[in-house]
Structure 1
């Protein structure tokens, strides 16, 4: 019996290790850490969750077959009792969530303590095993919410960071960013339209967040979407890549209506996305974060790794590819999210306030990356409040206010529009524009 149990243990450990480093494991970790970012990277969370339930059920069935032999008499309490459920969950969580080492660490630490106390004090203190698992839960809640494995790793990371000199630049007010002007010439026949939004509206009860918005984005164009806070800019992005369903209207991606498709479907159709509030998978390395985005196109692990490395080179993060995402600076996180979107090989990128929180030099680096991508044929729609950068970066502006389009056009025209100045730019910008 012991040999059979050990054989099952080895099989499960090897299977868990294989899953952890595979597309399956990457998807599950990504879903756990940030489901919205996982969906935007092309991961079908429902499909992977169902697979996880099936695999977990199979492993639990194997364990149950051995457990029945040990206890000999099967009763509801012995199989489904509170102590049994608490033991299984606490052991896995105590060791570390999201790593195959977690259950091994938890079982190796908690079960011997519980069994020794039960053997020595069980007759005096019935239920002493439950006390052990109860204390473990208290430790989890107060000291190590993700388990001992991650707590120790965080301590090691903190010690390493303290030993390294601080080199991160402080955020500075963004001034003018030097970008060479360029000419953008759309195709006369409209054959280069990659994103066509028609009469898009979104209501939340009585609130009209987006009202009858229509615009087109052409291949290689950089479209800047601007407007005051609450104008509906991020809601518009959520409609464009499937996080919200429009009340009415259509979104054509390369001629196909995809207004009601899920985010992972739109990712596969070539629409990449970054977020206003950064959404890294903090417990993954930078390379694994980007590799997660590559799986939507890659047919093998080797191809995914190659695509991820190429995306990291494009944004200049190859040197820190093995660092945990949770240890990165704001600029590095912004570039990593951009690389993760690029790994899906999109034709269109939706960038939501990519320059937010960056210093002048850092923002210049990100702007340079965006320009290089556009020059290679990438279509970009970007939401940003930093007008000094946007005026020099974009080919056209789309201006929103209260969910409606105020105007659309080249930067030189839009920045002098009195309605835009009144609603968003302010009188100081009017004087600047005249100069």
Structure 2
């Protein structure tokens, strides 16, 4: 299905591309021919920005750093060493990739607007460095003997053809990224980085790869731009307007898809260039005005871009029809509801999770205090306590989202207390969240497939594992629906399937029954019992005590970050300290009835 959709989208691109080349063949005016080439170059530059910012959600205000580096490298290499732009076009890509990693490694430590503002500093620094070095303006040397060897042509249509070939390659690359493990990882990071890490995605590694690819394409676009324009200045290739053009064409057309920058460049660049030619002498900076107006219109009418606005509008009718007739989740196989009979190994050889002296302080607040417990293979451990008792903080410590102040977490005998979430996922610890974290723009199947990548060696294996996980939770019938269209119960099951796709030996479930009705909660409980029966170990935080006493083998009770009791359900629910701290007198009266 995905391959067929991808082939269709590429066909929709190739046909207009051929029509574009046919149009350029009949354009003889040098200015309009130049504009046709610039539209393609800015579309490529926008696609480079999209590979980083569109897919990861980390907005870059500094892509001019890569663009300008490629432009200056190409021109200066010809001036000082007579190296042809044909060579420097590819060398610029290597420069851009290295520069991307060098910039990304320290900068990815920042988030949100801090990342965006820090990226802005790099092209500004380069601009002043080149001015200080004495390059206020540089020109491509004209070559009279065999000019084609130096990418110099008297017919501007050749540049349009080269730019179109480059654009086609970048579009194919973007489409490959979108439909591969690479793109799935980036989109997952964008939509919820914590959930992506919990699913086994090493976010730093994938973001570094993204900025390397993005920087390479941007630098190659800058290299071609310099050859076409012939004269460059630090302001013209490192200036804020350059980064703004990449950002604006991508955001206007629609980020997170290869169509976005193409639509944005095709619409905005001609308007900006024509206004600059006609009114530039009267209104300097008219191009910036065009981009500013485009952003205002975009924020008002289509915050995610024109592509997504049109797509959502066209799909609204289909979504309405689907909501009226969409299939229910498949019924589970019958699961026994008799009381569980869990028997631990006498020698402790079945201990999969061993927590010793775990503590976490936030300044003077002791959120978790000297917590110790063991979870045995096949056990369902219920972690209960009043709000603020430290339950989710404890899960975050076990799952690597927070670093303990002190203590150890042994996973199958290895201390992993300070490991990253994706490392713990690879070690066999899966996780769901109290607040659901779906990748809403992905289908249900792709959400789950993202979790399968942590162990799957190929796309086919990942798809097979994802389908099996969906079958286990009963979501096979709605696998192709967008996650953003699901009910609360379906989202809970989907997140459970995504965790299962990583083939964990231990699942940490944080309030999996929250927001569910009585019958829905019973269905999810049945799924958890089925997973436990298959050998998966479960630790679950939950407030729905009626379900928990039928589900778990043992309870761990927390209050103010401390363990106040651990034991079998019948012992814990009758303990006066637990009743006073958490269950309350109503529970005691209900239990007696």
Q: Please tell me the TM-score bracket, short chain as reference.
A: over 0.9
How many residues in Structure 1 have an aligned counterpart in Structure 2?
435
Q: Residue 52 of structure 1 aligns to a residue in which SS?
A: helix
Partner of 1:227: 385
Partner of 1:174: 332
Distance 1:172 1:402 in 2: 41
Q: Residue 400 of structure 2 aligns to a residue in which SS?
A: coil
Contact 2:328 2:477 in 1 (8 A): no
Larger Rg: 2
Cα offset, 1:167, TM superposition: 7.7
Q: Residue 202 of structure 1 aligns to a residue in which SS?
A: strand
Cα offset, 1:132, TM superposition: 1.7
1:233-285 Cα offsets, whole Å, 9 max, x none, are 00000000100011111000000000000000000000000000000111111
Contact 2:335 2:526 in 1 (8 A): no
Distance 1:129 1:211 in 2: 59
Contact 1:177 1:360 in 2 (8 A): no
Distance 2:364 2:298 in 1: 43
1:367-420 Cα offsets, whole Å, 9 max, x none, are 111010000000000000000100111111100000000101111110000000
Q: Residue 228 of structure 1 aligns to a residue in which SS?
A: coil
Contact 2:327 2:478 in 1 (8 A): no
Cα offset, 1:73, TM superposition: 1.1
Cα offset, 1:172, TM superposition: 21
Matching residue within 247, 258, 262 for 1:100: 258
Cα offset, 1:33, TM superposition: 1.0
Cα gap change, 1:176 to 1:4, in 2 (>3 Å): closer
Distance 1:271 1:187 in 2: 21
What CA RMSD, in Å, does the superposition of the two structures yield over aligned residues?
Answer: 2.9
Matching residue within 271, 296, 309 for 1:113: 271
Cα offset, 1:148, TM superposition: 1.7
Contact 1:176 1:388 in 2 (8 A): no
Residue ranges of structure 2 left out of the alignment (5+ in a row) = 1-158
Cα offset, 1:173, TM superposition: 22
Cα gap change, 1:416 to 1:36, in 2 (>3 Å): same
Q: Tell me the TM-score normalized by structure 1.
A: 0.95
Cα gap change, 1:46 to 1:211, in 2 (>3 Å): same
Cα offset, 1:318, TM superposition: 1.1
Contact 1:171 1:357 in 2 (8 A): no
Partner of 2:558: 400
Contact 1:172 1:359 in 2 (8 A): no
Bigger helix fraction: 2
Distance 1:328 1:172 in 2: 14
Contact 2:380 2:532 in 1 (8 A): yes
Distance 2:263 2:477 in 1: 32
- Bigger Cα displacement from structure 2, 70-79 vs 124-133: 124-133
Contact 1:176 1:389 in 2 (8 A): no
Cα gap change, 1:321 to 1:7, in 2 (>3 Å): same
Using CA pairs below 8 Å that are at least 6 residues apart, which structure has the higher relative contact order? 1
2:411 is equivalent to residue 253 of structure 1: yes
- Bigger Cα displacement from structure 2, 332-341 vs 131-140: 131-140
Partner of 2:172: 14
Distance 1:165 1:345 in 2: 32
Cα gap change, 1:195 to 1:165, in 2 (>3 Å): closer
Contact 2:384 2:556 in 1 (8 A): yes
Distance 1:120 1:393 in 2: 74
Q: Residue 455 of structure 2 aligns to a residue in which SS?
A: coil
Contact 1:198 1:213 in 2 (8 A): yes
Cα gap change, 1:158 to 1:50, in 2 (>3 Å): same
